[in-house]
Amino acid sequence: MSIANEEYVSLVTYKADGTPKALPVWIVDLGDNTVGFTTHGDSWKAKRVRNNPAVTLQPCDQRGNITEGSAIVEGTARMGTAEEFATVSSLVKAKYGKWVTMVKIMNSVRSAFGKGGQSDSAMIIELA
């Protein structure tokens, strides 16, 4: 099974000191051995990828618990263009449906309290 078929994947990015930081994300297949997801352009994961594009992906649940026996997939990440954001957003909505609306509502509430914001960028990952 392709990593892009998973519902959640644990994305590992790296801090400036090399410390790995994992968090669960939704993932969509972009073809040509690439996957993507939406994020806020000022998120910590986006900042880490700008400093070090090496990432790993591994199937997990919504809390980030790794799927036992699953393989780690290496990749190189970058922030996407506005056009890529539109494509990834559309694919995420098609794959995750009503959950996208629920997350948007939760993010609106969080941003009202100065914590986070709506996804405005796409992260594109070329798989190794």
3-state SS string over 60-124? Answer: ECCCCCECCCCCCEEEEEEECCHHHHHHHHHHHHHHHCHHHHHHHHHHHHHHHCCCCCCCCEEEE
pLDDT at 97: 80
pLDDT at 118: 57
In sequence order, the 6+-apart residues with CB closer than 8 A to the CB of 47 are none
| pTM: predicted TM-score of the whole model, two decimal places | 0.85
- Whether the per-residue pLDDT at 1 is higher than 80: the answer is no
Domain range list for the chain: 3-127
Average pLDDT over residues 20-45: 94
pLDDT digits (tens, 9 = 90+) for 34-56: 999 999 888 899 999 999 999 99
pLDDT at 14: 97
CATH of 3-127, one of 1.10.10.10, 3.30.420.40, 3.60.15.10, 2.30.110.10: 2.30.110.10
pLDDT digits (tens, 9 = 90+) for 53-109: 999 999 999 999 999 999 999 999 999 999 999 999 999 999 988 766 666 656 666
